[in-house]
A = this chain, B = another copy of it.
Amino acid sequence: MKTKPISVVIADSQYLIRLGLRHLFEGQSRINVVDDATRSDELMEAVLEHSPDVVIFDHDKPSHFKMEDISAVKRISPHTNFLIISSDDKKESIFRVLQEGSLSFLTKECDEEEIISAVIATSKGEKFLCNKVIDVILDKHVAKEEQTCAPTNLTTRELEIVKLTAQGLSAGKVADQLYLSPHTVYTHRKNIMKKLGVNSASELIVYAINNGL
């Protein structure tokens, strides 16, 4: 009971990378490289002809490939999934290609084992991100959390009020919720806004949400 091998198109401007990947997959009966491409138009042709399970893609050279190629390919071959193997590990790039519709992202430092696992996962429609990429993604979030802690000169009561306010409750509603006079809430809010350097309740909401409160 042998399953069909995973068909792969390699889209990378660098010859040595293509060679290396082909060599790597030769030892893998589950993975079958059906074509490769050095530019966007070649990629489109290859996808139209083979409708591969996975495209291994590097957007690093804008003269050869663009990030938009990902969504373009997905339009003409929706079942095709993308595995990015790129040395471009900038945060923006990672989010960008994931938004364009690629599932997986490895950097060029990743080893054979990781690449093969990634191709298999990607062909099944699963995400696969290597450690370095996960670090970059988490960085953003974990760093954000800490920022949350930093500007908390706020007292416990003030924090309560920020949280409720950031849920869209009016001062009156917040007062009801906490069994306080609306005036109390106004005073707290005034102090909070002073501490956080914002000028209106609306800005306070924006601030609170953007800082994860």
Question: Which residue numbers of A lie inside 8 Å of B, CB to CB?
Answer: 95, 98-99, 117, 121, 126-127, 129, 131, 134-135, 137-138, 141-142, 144-145, 165-170, 198, 200-207, 209-210
Contacts and interface: CB of A to CB of B under 8 A. Distances in A.
Contacts of A129: 129, 134
A22 B198 CA distance: 55
Contacts of A98: 138, 141-142
Most B C-beta atoms less than 10 A away, residue of A129, A167, A198, A205: A205
A198 B141 contact: no
Contacts of A165: 202
A192 to B, nearest CB: 14
A202 B168 contact: yes
A129 B204 CA distance: 34
Contacts of A206: 166-168, 205, 209
Contacts of A168: 198, 200, 202-207
Most B C-beta atoms less than 10 A away, residue of A168, A203, A204: A168
A126 B131 contact: yes
A170 B201 CA distance: 9
Give the 10 A-B CB pairs with smallest separation, nearest first. Answer: A168-B203, A168-B202, A168-B206, A205-B205, A126-B131, A209-B209, A127-B131, A127-B134, A95-B141, A98-B142
